[in-house]
């Protein structure tokens, strides 16, 4: 009985990251679909901030190949500091942005100027993305409950002043704030629950100081219904010394839109839309099994439902709007398999593949009261392959690019095939443990 209990405790400690294989954003991507919900990893802190207490005393850097920049971007770096024996503080700096839809701070063909005039008087600085400012995560370990809180701020501001013509002066503001809080509860040696609630709000504002401001009104559009809230939850349960079951779920509701402050057909345009709001609802419900045949090896199997519903609602300056249109995307089921194995003291091998059995349903207004409906079924398949290297206090995780000419699995290393690679690793994560 004592031996069996020790094996059970050892298995759950392995999965909970107290011992075992290393962690990163790259690792979770190479272990399957939505693996952050069923594989314990230091990247889980972005879903469950209370888990930060399990990943103390480290510096993390994430790099990814971004085609639009034609090169690698060391886009994220963070540190986990053990402030006290019970409290851990995480601070992250990132080259990251948040897109804010419907914002009028980026002008392609803006009113009332022609494109040629606007291009001349406005520099190419306008954007509809808020830039990352900071992310701070704190977690407190207690007797059998861990508490966590995370706050991220994104903000951009542009002020333009024309010394020759004050009518061309303007100011743009974009912002996003995200906060999440949660807990981890360990009622016994075989069970651990992680849960998080989160909220996000965004805003935009474009103010012009010109003859086209319609008297005292210097702002034409204002944000409408920008908010997102949701909940994440998962439960690790040790079924036997080698198998852990992990049911998990996510629910999220979000919205974004705009309202015209100037009730003029000249401003609103031909469509006459005075406000628009898009609403999205997300459901993720699944169960996974993490099988640990022996130390430093793990097989993951996950399945479940993922559904996204989006509705578009409009109001008009005149007349009755059409019935709201709707789009539904559903993966029922999604199936995912992953493997992680340490083949040497300094090397791990990982791969995962998953398939989504998908359904798309589109409903669009034909008249004010009638919708047409389209339905499409199909599937999406993806696979990932990665290697992890352990050198001293450094752990280096890699995602190997297997697309097109960079197919390392078929071509092999240069010394054998003579094949040169452009961006062999599409993603790299580096972690330094300073404890």
Q: Measure CA 50 to chain center.
A: 18
pLDDT band at 18 (very low <50, low <70, confident <90, very high): very low
Torsion sign, CA atoms 66, 108, 106, 308: negative
DSSP classification of residue 25: H
Omega within 30 of 0 (cis) for the link into 333: yes
Task: Find, among 316, 189, 330, 324, the residue nearest to 265 by Cα.
Answer: 316
pLDDT tens track for 394-408: 999 998 876 655 566
Q: Is 407 helix (H, G, I), strand (E, B) or coil?
A: coil
pLDDT band at 67 (very low <50, low <70, confident <90, very high): low
Q: What share of the chain is helix, strand, coil (3-state, %, to 5)?
A: 15, 55, 30
Q: Which residue has the higher pLDDT, 281 or 8?
A: 281
Catalogue the E-assigned strands of 166-261.
169-188, 191-209, 221-223, 227-240, 243-260
pTM above the 0.85 mark? no
**Mean pLDDT on 210-233:** 75
Task: Find, among 265, 259, 237, 218, the residue nearest to 102 by Cα.
Answer: 259
Q: Is 57 helix (H, G, I), strand (E, B) or coil?
A: coil
pLDDT at 427: 86
pLDDT at 307: 95
pLDDT exceeding 90 applies to what percent of the chain? 50
CA dihedral 294→297→301→307, nearest 10 degrees, is 140
Residues with Cβ within 8 Å of 188's Cβ and at least 6 positions away in sequence, in order, are none
pLDDT band at 433 (very low <50, low <70, confident <90, very high): very high
pLDDT at 185: 96
Mean pLDDT of the chain: 81
Q: Is 119 helix (H, G, I), strand (E, B) or coil?
A: helix
pLDDT exceeding 70 applies to what percent of the chain? 74
Rounded to an integer, what distance in angstroms lies between the CA atom of residue 150 and that of residue 88?
12
pLDDT band at 172 (very low <50, low <70, confident <90, very high): confident
Check if the beta carbon of residue 126 is closer than 8 Å to that of residue 158: yes
Q: Residue 20 above 50 pLDDT?
A: no
**Mean pLDDT on 109-136:** 62
pLDDT at 316: 77
pLDDT at 423: 61
Torsion sign, CA atoms 236, 42, 133, 109: negative
Q: Which residue has the higher pLDDT, 305 or 262?
A: 305
pLDDT tens track for 251-299: 999 999 888 877 665 555 546 777 888 999 999 999 999 999 998 999 9
Q: Name the least confident of 1-5, 179-183, 397-401.
A: 1-5
pLDDT band at 325 (very low <50, low <70, confident <90, very high): confident
pLDDT at 136: 97
Two tokens, residue 406: 């960079």
Residues with Cβ within 8 Å of 251's Cβ and at least 6 positions away in sequence, in order, are 230, 231, 282, 283, 284
DSSP classification of residue 104: S
DSSP 326-371: EEEEEEEEEEEEEEEEEEETTEEEEEEEEEEEEEEEEEEESSSS-E
Two tokens, residue 342: 């340490």
Rounded to an integer, what distance in angstroms lies between the CA atom of residue 354 and that of residue 337?
6
pLDDT tens track for 376-394: 999 999 899 999 999 999 9
Q: Which residue has the higher pLDDT, 39 or 72?
A: 39
pLDDT at 400: 84
Rounded to an integer, what distance in angstroms lies between the CA atom of residue 267 and that of residue 288?
53
Q: Which residue has the higher pLDDT, 324 or 54?
A: 54
**Mean pLDDT on 362-374:** 75
Check if the beta carbon of residue 350 is closer than 8 Å to that of residue 389: no
Rounded to an integer, what distance in angstroms lies between the CA atom of residue 355 and that of residue 302?
11
Q: Which residue has the higher pLDDT, 117 or 191?
A: 191
Residue 136 CB coordination number (10 Å)? 14
């Amino acid at each position: 009985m004592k031996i069996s209990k020790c094996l059970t405790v050892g298995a759950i400690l392995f999965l909970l990251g107290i011992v075992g294989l290393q962690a990163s954003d790259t690792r979770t991507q190479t272990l399957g679909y939505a693996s952050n919900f069923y594989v314990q990893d230091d990247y889980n802190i972005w879903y469950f901030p209370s888990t930060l207490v399990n990943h103390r005393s480290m510096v993390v850097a994430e790099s990814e190949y971004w085609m639009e920049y034609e090169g690698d971007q060391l886009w994220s770096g963070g540190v986990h500091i053990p402030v006290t024996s019970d409290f851990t503080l995480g601070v992250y700096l990132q080259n990251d942005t948040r897109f804010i839809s419907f914002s009028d701070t980026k002008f392609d063909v803006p009113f009332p100027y022609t494109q040629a005039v606007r291009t001349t008087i406005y520099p190419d600085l306008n954007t509809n993305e808020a830039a990352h400012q900071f992310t701070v995560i704190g977690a407190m370990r207690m007797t059998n409950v861990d508490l966590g809180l995370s706050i991220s701020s994104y903000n951009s501001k542009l002020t333009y002043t024309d010394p020759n013509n004050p009518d061309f002066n303007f100011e743009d503001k974009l912002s996003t704030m995200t906060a999440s809080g949660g807990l981890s509860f360990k009622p016994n040696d075989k069970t651990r629950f992680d849960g998080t609630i989160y909220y996000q709000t965004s805003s935009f504002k474009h103010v012009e100081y010109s003859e086209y401001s319609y008297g005292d009104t210097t702002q034409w559009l204002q944000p409408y219904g920008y908010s997102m809230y949701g909940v994440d939850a998962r439960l690790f349960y040790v079924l036997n010394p080698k198998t852990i079951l992990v049911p998990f779920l996510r629910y999220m509701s979000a919205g974004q839109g705009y309202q015209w402050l100037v009730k003029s057909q000249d401003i609103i345009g031909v469509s006459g839309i005075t406000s628009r709001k898009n609403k999205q609802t997300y459901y993720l419900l699944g169960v996974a099994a993490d099988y640990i045949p022996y130390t430093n090896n793990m097989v993951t199997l996950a399945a479940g439902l993922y559904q996204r519903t989006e509705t578009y609602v409009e109001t008009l300056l005149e007349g009755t709007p059409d019935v709201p249109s709707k789009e539904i995307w559903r993966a029922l089921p999604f199936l995912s398999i992953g493997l992680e194995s340490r083949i040497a003291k300094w090397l791990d091998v990982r791969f995962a593949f998953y398939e989504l059995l998908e359904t798309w349903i589109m409903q669009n207004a034909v008249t004010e009261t009638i919708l047409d409906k389209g339905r499409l079924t199909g599937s999406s398949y993806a696979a990932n392959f990665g290697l992890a290297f352990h050198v001293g206090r450094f752990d280096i995780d890699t995602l190997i690019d297997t697309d097109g000419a960079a197919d390392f699995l078929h071509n092999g290393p240069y010394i054998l095939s003579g094949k040169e690679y452009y961006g062999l690793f599409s993603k790299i994560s580096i972690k330094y443990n300073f404890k």
